[in-house]
Amino acid sequence: MISSTSTWSKYVFIALEGAADAVPAGKLELLEEGIKPIASTFVYGNKYLQRANAVAVDPVSMPLHEAKKSRETVFQPPAGLALFGAIRDAAPDSWGRRVIENMLRAAPDGLPETEYLAHAGPHRTGALDFRDAPNAPAEPGKLPDAKSLTYLLDAAAMIQDGKPVPKKLQLLFSVGATFGGARPKAVLLDDNRQWVAKFPVARDGFNVPLVERATLELARQCGMRVPETRSIHLPDGRDVMLIERFDRMLLPEGSFGKRHVVSALTMLKMHESDTASASYTDLADTLSDHGATGFVAADKTELFKRMVFNILVTNDDDHLRNHAFVWDGAKKGWRLSDLYDVVPKPQVGSERFLVLGVGPAKGRLATLDNALSAAGRFGLLKHVAAEIIQHLSGVVREWRTCFEAFDVPKTECDKIASAFRKPQSIGLREVEKT
């Protein structure tokens, strides 16, 4: 079969920090063969390069300093990739694709990447937008509020069942439901703040929304940076978790500013399938190379804590789309984003692995002594790292108290209890010897 090639040419717009609307940053050309992207190019606009607050659309494959060296520099994605990472991040990877396919009546993953990019809408993750002309206006899109949650959950269920969502419901739902990640979700406006609402799934083995929220709150008790969370109990008994968006900020005039976000996948110039070869120390190195002045040491410590926390709660879904970096315009550098998507995974076996490499001693093995072996790469002295591990172990040991305070019933706690191994059985003793 011969499949045709086509080129998608768009102006890439970016909302610069503190501004409600986006400005054109440059021109993207994306070549596709059938539905498969095969090559991309990007050229910054000269006017954009002259802006004092310009930010690289993709810090690793479209650096501004390269563009400023010679006008009209044509960028291409890192070797082996057809898409620029930051452009890939602007389209959903899973859930939002199902929403777009439902709207367009297409098969799962049956659309060209450019259709997902085009339909992800104004509320997509981060600060990018794609338009046909440098003076084209932003797409409108009024977000639903928490009062619409029952309707939103109904629409999400239809999408999961492969049933077409009726037009009226689609209008309400599709505006903010094009986010990535596997689980059903939608963006909401509530109390003048934007939230990612994460829904339950019929086949869940435990109450994921309540447990995810309580786990994020446990992480906060450990001293990590976590957005505000809420849980909403619907009249029909279903629970929904809300987590405030870290890539939106309310501006004095009442509209929302956007923050530029790239995934860790992008920062490491990787394809999804390479995730298993990456490690937490690679992310620490990313912070050393691209971090915001004055925050590098703090963010590397925060990253170390997240790795230790994931070990303690068996969150083994710590892949490269579950870590992100946010542009800090004032400090002209990238910060580790606030924490998101941390869920304990109950399991039988006691030997466990994270997705990302933990330490030089034992690779991806999820143990505390393995984490300690990486301390230096996070800029931490051994005894300081050991104190962090001891502190987190102590807080996580009391997880049931925290979960109870955040309304997780005891029966639900029992279902996930096996995710929490005794710190002594996963290397705390070795750490304490330090």
Which residues are at the interface with Mg ion (CB under 5 A)? 181, 322, 341
Identified binder of ligand ADP from the candidate list 42, 280, 334, 340, rule CB under 6 A: 340
Q: Give 32 or 318: the residue with its C-beta nearer to Mg ion.
A: 318
Q: Give 292 or 389: the residue with its C-beta nearer to ligand ADP.
A: 292
- Report if residue 341 touches ligand ADP, rule: CB under 6 A: yes
Q: Which of 281, 124, 196, 260 is nearest to 289 (CA)?
A: 281
Q: Name which of ligand ADP, Mg ion, none residue 370 binds, using a CB cut-off of 5 to 8 Å depending on partner kind.
A: none
Candidate ranges 54-62, 302-310, 320-328, 371-379; the one touching ligand ADP (CB under 6 A): 320-328
Q: Give 222 or 426: the residue with its C-beta nearer to ligand ADP.
A: 222
Identified binder of ligand ADP from the candidate list 180, 209, 333, 357, rule CB under 6 A: 180
Question: How far is CA 278 from each of CA 270, 355, 357, rounded to the nearest angstrom?
Answer: 9, 8, 6
Quote the crossing angle between the two packed helices 382-397 and 296-313, to the nearest 10°. 40
Q: Give 45 or 126: the residue with its C-beta nearer to ligand ADP.
A: 126
- Report if residue 322 touches ligand ADP, rule: CB under 6 A: yes
Candidate ranges 21-29, 158-166, 181-189, 284-292; the one touching ligand ADP (CB under 6 A): 181-189
Which residues touch 136 (CB under 8 Å, ≥6 apart)? Answer: 11
Q: Name which of ligand ADP, Mg ion, none residue 179 binds, using a CB cut-off of 5 to 8 Å depending on partner kind.
A: ligand ADP
Nearest distance in Å: CB 419, ligand ADP: 16
Identified binder of ligand ADP from the candidate list 179, 256, 280, 304, rule CB under 6 A: 179
- Report if residue 315 touches ligand ADP, rule: CB under 6 A: no
The span from the CA of 172 to the CA of 78, in Å, is: 38
Q: Name which of Mg ion, ligand ADP, none residue 243 binds, using a CB cut-off of 5 to 8 Å depending on partner kind.
A: ligand ADP
Which residues touch 429 (CB under 8 Å, ≥6 apart)? Answer: none
Token code pair at residue 82 = 């057809």
Nearest distance in Å: CB 394, ligand ADP: 27
Q: Assign residue 269 a region: left if phi > 0, alpha if psi is -120 to 50, beta otherwise?
A: left
Which residues touch 393 (CB under 8 Å, ≥6 apart)? Answer: 312, 368, 423, 428
Distance separating the N- and C-terminal Cα atoms of the chain: 63
Nearest distance in Å: CB 115, Mg ion: 22
The span from the CA of 304 to the CA of 216, in Å, is: 16
Q: What are phi and psi of 275, to 5 degrees?
A: -50, -40
Q: Name which of ligand ADP, Mg ion, none residue 247 binds, using a CB cut-off of 5 to 8 Å depending on partner kind.
A: ligand ADP
Q: Is 18 exposed, middle or buried (0-12, 13-18, 19+ CB in 10 A)?
A: middle
- Report if residue 125 touches ligand ADP, rule: CB under 6 A: yes
Tokens 């890539």 sit at which residue? 247
Q: Name which of Mg ion, ligand ADP, none residue 180 binds, using a CB cut-off of 5 to 8 Å depending on partner kind.
A: ligand ADP
Which residues touch 89 (CB under 8 Å, ≥6 apart)? Answer: 125, 126, 128, 261, 262, 263, 265, 266
Q: Give 113 or 341: the residue with its C-beta nearer to Mg ion.
A: 341
Determine contact, residues 363/377, Cβ cutoff 8 Å. no
Nearest distance in Å: CB 141, ligand ADP: 16
C-alpha triplet 71, 76, 82: angle, nearest 5°? 160
- Looking only at residues 184 through 213 of this chain, which bind ligand ADP when binding is defined by CB under 6 A? 196
- Looking only at residues 241 through 270 of this chain, which bind ligand ADP when binding is defined by CB under 6 A? 243-247
- Contact residues for ligand ADP (CB under 6 A)? 95, 125, 179-183, 196, 227, 243-247, 321-322, 324, 340-341
